[in-house]
Amino acid sequence: LSELEALMERMKRLQEDKEDEEASQEEMATRFENEKKESLLVISGGICAFPVPVSFDDEIVSTDVSRYIEDPGFGYKDFARRGEEHLPTFRAQDYTWENHGFSLVNRLYSDIGHLLDEKFRMVYNLTYNTMATHEDVDTTMLRRALFNYVHCMYGIRYDDYDYGEVNQLLERSLKVYIKTVTCYPERTTKRMYDSYWRQFKHSEKVHVNLLLMEARMQAELLYALRAITRHLT
């Protein structure tokens, strides 16, 4: 099977399995923990056997990027230390964008919540119902896997989501690309862009980038707004 046909076959099989039997809460929690730990192993350019701490102070910032940066030491760092057994988890059910963050940010800055919510929804729901040359395809499962994987990298868990879908739908090269674009965008290369979903249209792959950026922004907002909520109460 081609990469595209294999992906569509996995989507079909996952949908059938979901209809036949749902995973237990314990199983879904375990799958999330496994996916979260694995995401720490994903680094720009490949997957290593253990998390490699990134020191931006030791790196040479390229000329093209450095002119936009005031603090060359500023950058992404994994939320957990290497070898840590119990990684922190942000349970989305305890603090969601829809039920908590939206109303708070609207209170802090009038109407900005509506604008952000519209942006999140528009990018998440954007679809031509196609996958490369295939038409009339429901891509909801794939879009949710992309969005939730970014949140998983940030330690955010949705209790009603089976993270086994992430492992089935997002292959290694795509996970590398996701982590690079989301956490180290300055390292993204054309070669990495070309390495996944080779049969997909550019417009579909650009939509992936939009999903990743909106998922990252929402994850950052959730952490910030939860901290503000705790401070106010």
Greater confidence (209 vs 80) lies with 209
Classify residue 14 as exposed, middle or buried by CB count within 10 Å of its CB (0-12, 13-18, 19+): middle
Q: Is the pLDDT of residue 174 over 50?
A: yes
What per-residue confidence (pLDDT) applies to 80? Answer: 66
Domain extents in the chain: 1-62+75-230
Q: Do 222 and 97 touch, CB atoms closer than 8 A?
A: yes
**Alpha helix ranges (H) inside 164-201:** 164-169, 172-183, 190-194
pLDDT band at 56 (very low <50, low <70, confident <90, very high): very low
Q: Do 92 and 161 touch, CB atoms closer than 8 A?
A: no
Q: Do 47 and 41 touch, CB atoms closer than 8 A?
A: yes
DSSP 59: S
What per-residue confidence (pLDDT) applies to 41? Answer: 81
Specify the pTM.
0.86
What average pLDDT score do residues 184-212 get? 92
Return the H-helix or E-strand segment holding 46: strand 46-47
Q: Is the pLDDT of residue 64 over 70?
A: no
Alpha-carbon distance of 208 to 164, in angstroms, equals 20
What per-residue confidence (pLDDT) applies to 48? Answer: 38
What per-residue confidence (pLDDT) applies to 82? Answer: 59
**Alpha helix ranges (H) inside 111-189:** 112-125, 140-153, 164-169, 172-183
pLDDT band at 51 (very low <50, low <70, confident <90, very high): very low
What residue has token string 């949140």?
Answer: 151
What per-residue confidence (pLDDT) applies to 68? Answer: 72
